[in-house]
Structures are given as C-alpha cells and as structure tokens.
Amino acid sequence: MIDGVENERWAEGKSRNSSGGTMAISMTGTRGERQPRDLHETNLGWKVSRARCEMRYFDAVWRGEIPVRNLFLAERRTAHFAGTLFLPMKILVADKISSKGVAHLRQQPGFEVVEAYGSSPEKMLTLVKDVHAIAVRSETKITREIIAAAPLLKVVGRAGVGVDNVDVEAATERGVVVMNTPSGNTIATAELTFTHILCGARPVPQASASMSAGKWDRKSFSGVELFRKTLGIVGLGRIGGEVAKRAQAFGMRVLAYDPYLAPSRAKAMQVEAVSLEELLPQCDFITVHMPLTDDTKYMIGAAAFEKMKKGVRIFNCARGGIIEETALVAALKSGKVAAAGLDVYEGEPLAADSELRKLPNVVLTPHLGASTAEAQDAVGVEVAEQIADVLAGGVIRNAVNMPSIDAAALKVLAPYLDLGTKLGALVQQIAPAQISELRITYWGKVTELDANSVTRAIQRGYLRRISGEEVNFVNAPFFFKRLGVGVEVTKSNSESDYAGLIQVTAVTPDGGIH
C-alpha cells in the first residue's frame, strides 16, 4: 500500500453540487436574458430581485465557466442599467484577524463583511446561513454541522497554519476550499527560535526570575557564547533557512540535515549539508524545523541523544513529538543536554504537572511561534487576499483540500490526478531521499490533457511524506523549487504501446535513475 494515498478524498469530493452555494439573482444562465421581476433594495442599496433565484449564473462563475471579472465589472454595470444587481457576497470574519485584513476584504467590490468574534456554535449556525466565506484563526470551530448550515459557503480561510479547527473532510465533501497561510509566520517563528537559542546559551529567563524574587545572584547564571559554536538545523525549509541566516550572523558554523534538500541549495545558503548521523555528534546546538510526519515523529529520542555531544543544547519550535519528551527529560536530568528551549509539545496545552516545567535548565513558551504583531498582520492580510482571490474567481492559493481547476476540466482530469498522486508517492518511496530532478514524460492521449495539473499531482504525491499536509496542488511546485529539485516535463509524440502513458523518473545528484 502506498502511504497516504488511500486517504486521497478530494477527487470524489470536489464536484459541485448545483444546490450548494450560489447567490446570483434573477439570472437565467445567459447574460442579457433577464425577465420582468419585482425589485427591491438590498442593504447596499443595490436593486435585486428574488423572483427568480435560479442561481445558475453564479454557479457557472464559481465553476470557472464564466470569468468572474465580467460579473463584477461590465456585468454589474449592465445589470445596474437593467435594474438588477447581485447580492453582495458575504464574508464572516469569525475570529479576530488583523484590521488590515478586514479592510482588504471591505475594499473589494461586491463584498459584505460581517465581523462576529467569539460566537457560540449555536450562533454560528445562524450566522453562516448566507455566507460565502469564513475567515478564522484557531478559536472558532468550523464543524460539519456549520458547513452543512452554510449552503452558499465557498471558502474557509485560516489565518495561520494548522487547520485542526476546520472539518476539512466535511468541507472537501461539500467542495468548500479550505486555505491556510503557511508563510506569514516564518520570520516570527525563526526569531522565536533564535530567542530560545540565545536563552539556551545565556539563562536570561532564569536570571530574571531570580531578580524578580529579590535576589542578586551573579554566580548561578553563567552561560556560553554562540560565536564559533556549531548549530545543527534539522529541516532546512522556510524557518530553518531563516534560522541559518541568523546563526551565521552570530558567527556560528551551520550544519543541516534535510534529506530532501538539493546540495546546490545548501551550498547557496552556505550551510554544510550532512546526514543526521554526522550532525548529531558535532553540534553544540540543535534545532528542529520540519513537519510532524511518520518519519519525523520521535526522530530525536533516546538513541539520538546518545549520539550527541555532552552538554548539547536543544530546541523545538516546530511541532511537538519530533523530540520525544520523556527522553529529553532524562537527557536534561543526566546532564547530556545542558539546556532546552521548547515552544511546542506532544500534548498542548502542556500538562500542569509536566516534568519539563520543573527542570531549571529548560525555557518553555506556550506555542508562541506566530505571536508577533507583524505575523498576525501578515496572516490576516494573507488570508483576506486569498479569500478575495477565490471569490473573485482567481488563483486558489494555499488550499489544503482542492486543486485550482474548474469543475468541467476536473471531471476529465480526476482519474489522472489520482494516478499522478499515487505515482509521485510511489516514486518518492522507492527513490533515494536526495534527488536533483524529477523527469515526467507524457505519451498519447495524456498529452492532450492539462499536463500542468497532472504534474502538480505527481509533485504533491511525491511531497506528501516530506512536507506533510501543508503541500497541495497549488504549492507543490514551489516546494520543489525550494528543495532545489528540478522538474522536467516532456510531452512525447513518439510511439508507445499504450493509448496514454505517464512515466516518472527520479534522478539523483550523481545521475542515478530510479
């Protein structure tokens, strides 16, 4: 069985239900064919009719059959003269996102923004009745019931990374796009990591607590310098890369273990790419920055601590569970690990009686990686822009459950996308971890399809175990670029024994073919 692939659900869930989510008023499907109708004013002062809510027009726009810009520009003007306009699209901002994000939504023509923070689940059921989009952070839960109560819902935008508070499966079944904003937190989390690294070197929080207790203790809080020390970064993605830059500025030697990173990318960052076995015994400081996957769970456990230098300092601002907490506590107690800094935990919130809270050489923060004013602004604006783009029929960015393909094309493409995802996952599992290129060749009738989407499906399948749930059809090529892995696509017209054929080949840096 290919890992992760049997859970692919989007292919069944993406097709639009004609009753699910339309709002156009008085349109019979083709522009210009408007019928006499009774008119009334909406709260925006637009004249609309509810006489014939056939909803077909907006459905067509949503499916991508009619460019939405026509709806908002020429179409609106024409409709106005015809005495008819569309109801605004309603966006519910259910959790407090940055005011800049809300302002961005308000500026969009044809959007009505409702801010309702901290609403109870019962209240949400009423609020969502006529909304097209919901923006949340982590507080409001978008449950199956809420999705069912929102027949017009097109998109749920999460300002932040984790979508645990959204029932993605229910959304996918309904064809509702669920999006997150993975990059807005990068600098904030890299800086928090570096704060932890500095506090691991110099016990500032402990010294401050001692001062607050009225003491003047100049002996207990001696530290070490970062200058000329070796930092090991496990997972050299967005955040790991930013941590590397900061460490270099402090005069540290930086080693990185990221099996999916091309050597050229590590070289460009002036980071020494090494294996985990090589990294562990050499480093004075180790920080982890990868997703929690089957491969990364407990990657830093008792066996890994065994291989480390005595007095190593260790940090996790990525995901709880990458470092095994019981093994860390033992290593801290034995003196193998001199200090640790954690922002994330195996169970959150961290248990009040956790051993970690009792150790003097540990600095703990309650999952604050993204908690800066700038990151909050960034994710708020990002989610607002993404929602606006989706509702305006533009690009779907950072969708966790949908490819950005219109429904008609999807119907034809779906089996190929499914196959592509499986092929990508299979190749990733049989090829060595480090590759420099993925070569994809299409033959026969596959060449007539949207090969770009199939390529993305292959890339997404390939990345599932590497980048976790964050990777999707939209961002898979970007993930490849960041890993420094090239993708070469060929549409071949040479003869083949099959009506359609897709070949995926992984090429290693030494030219090996898999």
Ligand X SMILES: NC(=O)c1ccc[n+]([C@@H]2O[C@H](COP(=O)([O-])OP(=O)(O)OC[C@H]3O[C@@H](n4cnc5c(N)ncnc54)[C@H](O)[C@@H]3O)[C@@H](O)[C@H]2O)c1
Beta partners for residue 115, in sequence order: 93
Using CB atoms, what's the residue nearest to ligand X? Answer: 237
The rounded distance, in Å, linking the Cα atoms of 290 and 228 is 25
Least gap, CB of 137 to ligand X (angstroms): 12
Catalytic status, residue 348: yes
Site for ligand X in 465-484 (CB under 6 A): 466-467, 470, 483
**Choice between 60 and 234, CB closer to ligand X:** 234
DSSP string for 398-421:
SBSS--S--HHHHHHHHHHHHHHH
Which residue is listed with tokens 């033959």? 443
Nearest to 241 by CA among 271, 263, 264: 271
Of the candidates 8, 75, 258, 324, which one interacts with ligand X according to CB under 6 A? 258
Least gap, CB of 192 to ligand X (angstroms): 7
Backbone angles phi, psi at 454, to 5 degrees: -65, -40
Choose one: 11-19, 363-371, 387-395, 403-411; the region binding ligand X (CB under 6 A). 363-371
Site for ligand X in 275-304 (CB under 6 A): 289-291, 295-296
The yes or no reply on residue 161 touching ligand X (CB under 6 A) is yes
Of the candidates 367, 422, 456, 464, which one interacts with ligand X according to CB under 6 A? 367
Of the candidates 113, 153, 233, 239, which one interacts with ligand X according to CB under 6 A? 239
The yes or no reply on residue 342 touching ligand X (CB under 6 A) is no
| Residue 362 CB contacts under 8 Å (≥ 6 apart), including other chains | 332, 339, 340, 341, 342, 356
Of the candidates 26, 84, 189, 401, which one interacts with ligand X according to CB under 6 A? 189
Choose one: 364-372, 379-387, 451-459, 501-509; the region binding ligand X (CB under 6 A). 364-372
**Residues 63, 289, 319, 456: which is the catalytic one?**
319
DSSP string for 499-514:
SEEEEEEEE-TT--B-
The yes or no reply on residue 317 touching ligand X (CB under 6 A) is yes
Cis peptide before 349 (omega within 30 of 0): yes
Least gap, CB of 187 to ligand X (angstroms): 10
**Choice between 90 and 456, CB closer to ligand X:** 456
Nearest to 153 by CA among 61, 21, 62: 21
Least gap, CB of 208 to ligand X (angstroms): 22
The rounded distance, in Å, linking the Cα atoms of 191 and 198 is 10
Nearest to 346 by CA among 316, 324, 365: 324
The yes or no reply on residue 319 touching ligand X (CB under 6 A) is yes
**Residues 174, 265, 367, 482: which is the catalytic one?**
367
Beta partners for residue 337, in sequence order: 312
| Residue 142 CB contacts under 8 Å (≥ 6 apart), including other chains | 94, 134, 136, 156, 165, 166, 167, 171
Least gap, CB of 378 to ligand X (angstroms): 12
The rounded distance, in Å, linking the Cα atoms of 325 and 337 is 13
The yes or no reply on residue 113 touching ligand X (CB under 6 A) is no
The rounded distance, in Å, linking the Cα atoms of 333 and 429 is 38
The yes or no reply on residue 259 touching ligand X (CB under 6 A) is yes
Per the CB < 8 A criterion, the answer to whether 369 and 317 are in contact is yes
Catalytic status, residue 482: no
The yes or no reply on residue 463 touching ligand X (CB under 6 A) is no
Choose one: 67-75, 114-122, 247-255, 316-324; the region binding ligand X (CB under 6 A). 316-324
Choose one: 53-61, 74-82, 209-217, 251-259; the region binding ligand X (CB under 6 A). 251-259
Beta partners for residue 314, in sequence order: 286, 340
The rounded distance, in Å, linking the Cα atoms of 232 and 275 is 11
The yes or no reply on residue 235 touching ligand X (CB under 6 A) is yes
Amino acid making up residue 165:
N
**Choice between 125 and 368, CB closer to ligand X:** 368
What mask of x and - would describe binding to ligand X in positions 30 to 69, judged by CB under 6 A?
----------------------------------------
Residues that contact ligand X, how many (by CB under 6 A): 34
Query: What's the length of the chain?
Result: 514
Catalytic status, residue 319: yes
Of the candidates 46, 57, 260, 285, which one interacts with ligand X according to CB under 6 A? 260
Of the candidates 173, 284, 343, 437, which one interacts with ligand X according to CB under 6 A? 343
DSSP string for 161-230:
S--TTB-HHHHHHHT-EEE--TTTTHHHHHHHHHHHHHHHHS-HHHHHHHHHTT---SSTT-----TT-E
Can you give the binding site for ligand X, defined by CB under 6 A?
Answer: 161, 182, 185-186, 189, 234-240, 257-261, 289-291, 295-296, 317-319, 343-344, 367, 369-370, 466-467, 470, 483
Point out the residues that are catalytic: 319, 348, 367
